[in-house]
């Protein structure tokens, strides 16, 4: 999509503060088996390697702040 419409598309990458923090959050939910937790952490680590291919990166350290930042980025993009 970005390649076809570079000026008409916006890509956001929502990044955890760290892999350690992501693992801590997932463990706290209590919904992951050790195997699924490892798979999710491995996938997240892999996905992080692509973050520079996105237009903007939002670090999800605090949910309300990350949401506000993402909303502001989208509003600015749409106002052009």
Q: What sign results for the dihedral spanned by CA atoms 13, 16, 19, 24?
A: negative
Q: Decide: 36 and 79 in contact? Cβ < 8 Å.
A: no
Each residue's pLDDT tens digit, 25-62: 999 999 999 999 999 999 999 999 999 999 999 999 99
What is the pLDDT at residue 11?
Answer: 95
Q: Averaged over 18-24, what is the pLDDT? A: 97
Predicted TM-score (pTM) of the model is 0.85
Write out pLDDT tens, residues 53-77.
999 999 999 999 999 999 999 999 9
Domains and CATH numbers, the chain: 12-78 (3.40.50.300)
What's the rounded mean pLDDT across residues 3-19?
A: 92
d(CA 46, CA 60): 17
């Amino acid at each position: 999509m970005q390649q076809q419409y570079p000026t008409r598309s916006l890509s956001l990458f929502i990044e955890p503060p760290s892999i350690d923090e992501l693992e801590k959050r997932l463990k706290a939910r209590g919904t992951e088996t050790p195997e699924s937790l490892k798979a999710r952490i491995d996938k997240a680590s892999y996905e992080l390697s692509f973050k520079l291919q996105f237009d903007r990166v939002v670090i999800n350290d605090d949910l309300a702040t990350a949401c506000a930042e993402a909303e502001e980025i989208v509003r600015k993009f749409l106002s052009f």
